[in-house]
Homo-oligomer: A and B are copies of this chain.
Amino acid sequence: MMIENKARKAKNASRELGIMSSGKKDKALEAMAQALENNTEDLIRANNKDVDMAVENKRPKAFLDRLKLDKNRVLAMSEGLRVVSSLPDPVGEVISQWKRPNGLIIGQQRVPLGVIAIIYESRPNVTADAIGLCLKTGNAVVLRGSSEAIHSNKAIVKIMKKAAFDAGIPEDSIQLIEDVRRESVNELVSQKGLIDVVIPRGGAGLIKSVTENATVPVIETGVGNCHIYIDVDCDLKMAENIVLNAKIQRPGVCNAVETLLVNRIIAPKILPGIIKVLEENNVEIRGCSETLGISPNITPSCPEDWATEYLDYILAIKVVSGIDEAIEHINEYGTGHSEAIITNNYFRAEEFLNRIDAATVYVNASTRFTDGFEFGFGAELGISTQKLHARGPMGLQELTTIKYIIRGSGQIRQ
């Protein structure tokens, strides 16, 4: 009931928020940014409770690092809100408008989705980002963060909510679910009619559980089993640079490469160098039997490797007979995120772009560019790996829908 109440409050607030002027929303975003800065000490104090608990629970160092807030990170959150404030508001844009022979004028106008629920894991900055992006696009937001960041999230929401309210935003536009039991997620994703879309941000387990239990429409994000295919005809140095960048520039993120596919003819020439440089950078290689033939000291791969998103300093390598096998492998094991070919050949470049079924397909570039900022959107609320509504990096536009506004002069249907 608590969750239904919060969803209902958000729905009611969304009616007012949805038709609010961009100027008013932008001022509220500025005020929220300022409020975070003004309350940095309170935020860090609240965050310390979460960090202490994580230390007590012996959580890994990488986890602690993601959880921790300091002065610079609070500043980064408020800077993010100011950037969102400065971006153009997609709401109200008329994408197209036409006149029918009977005189009806039909326009397709961008409007907010309504109420967006976001379910996410430990990083507290997601709380501020999500509030900013939803408010900018006129959507009310219901947040369900993890129990491990609950003190941080409560503090962030409290500060931002007050600043927003003082700037004229309906108070109920921002809702935090403080019930961190697992059941609260299922209850949240069943609020059909009150919540318009749910966006899970986190590991494969969270996303699977949400899609299985939701009656509200879901935008799936983030799971990335990404591939690079090295064609027989390519620039060897470019291939090496791109593979290294896609693997080690930031291995823990969804657009990092997980499996390298190499054309059989070029494999003996290129693999020894690539494996050497990867190993020098602490990457563990798991190779197919042919890769082992070329580089006998690596770990043999097992079938599960082709389906694994390591998010770590590990790379699977498979030698393939050519572009057909590469494309089939990717369409079979890929998660539809980011896929790349390294080639000098025009026809194979076009074929790869054409036949790969994924959100983003690259020729001669690192998969690491799949990102709202790198695409030039100025903001991002995750990367959709599904096909409905949004595919690839989601910016402000993806947080809107359309409605048809139709102006008549007494038309009736014959």
Contact = CB atoms under 8 A, between A and B. Distances in A.
Interface of A: 15, 18-19, 98, 100, 104, 106, 111, 113-114, 192, 196-197, 211-212, 215, 217-219, 235, 238, 241-242, 244-246, 249, 331, 349, 353-355, 357-366, 368-370, 374-376, 386-389, 391-392, 401-413
B15 A357 contact: yes
Contacts of A100: 374-376
A363 B245 contact: no
Contact of A217 (B218, B354, B355, B412): B218
6 contacts: A15-B357, A197-B387, A217-B388, A245-B412, A363-B406, A374-B413
Contact of A364 (B197, B215, B376, B410): B410
Nearest to A15: B331
B215 A215 contact: no
A386 B353 contact: no
A386 B412 CA distance: 25
A209 B249 CA distance: 46
Contacts of A364: 407-411
Contacts of A238: 410
Contacts of A360: 403-404, 406
A391 B364 CA distance: 37
A353 B405 contact: yes
A389 B391 contact: no
How often does this chain occur in the complex, in copies? Answer: 2
Contacts of A353: 405, 407
A369 B413 contact: yes
Contact of A388 (B15, B388, B407, B411): B388
A413 B196 contact: no
A403 B389 contact: no
Contacts of A370: 404
A326 to B, nearest CB: 14
Contacts of A361: 403-406
A173 to B, nearest CB: 16
Nearest to A237: B410
A406 B369 contact: yes
A403 B386 contact: no
A98 B104 CA distance: 34
A135 to B, nearest CB: 18
Nearest to A18: B357
B212 A412 contact: no
B387 A391 contact: no
Contacts of A197: 387-388
A1 B363 CA distance: 38
A209 B358 CA distance: 30
Nearest to A213: B215
A212 B215 contact: yes
Given A15-B355, A104-B369, A369-B406, 14 more contacts: A98-B376, A104-B365, A113-B387, A114-B357, A114-B387, A217-B386, A241-B412, A353-B405, A361-B405, A368-B412, A368-B413, A374-B413, A388-B401, A391-B404
A410 B376 contact: no
A410 B196 contact: no
A252 to B, nearest CB: 14
Contacts of A104: 365, 369
Contacts of A219: 388
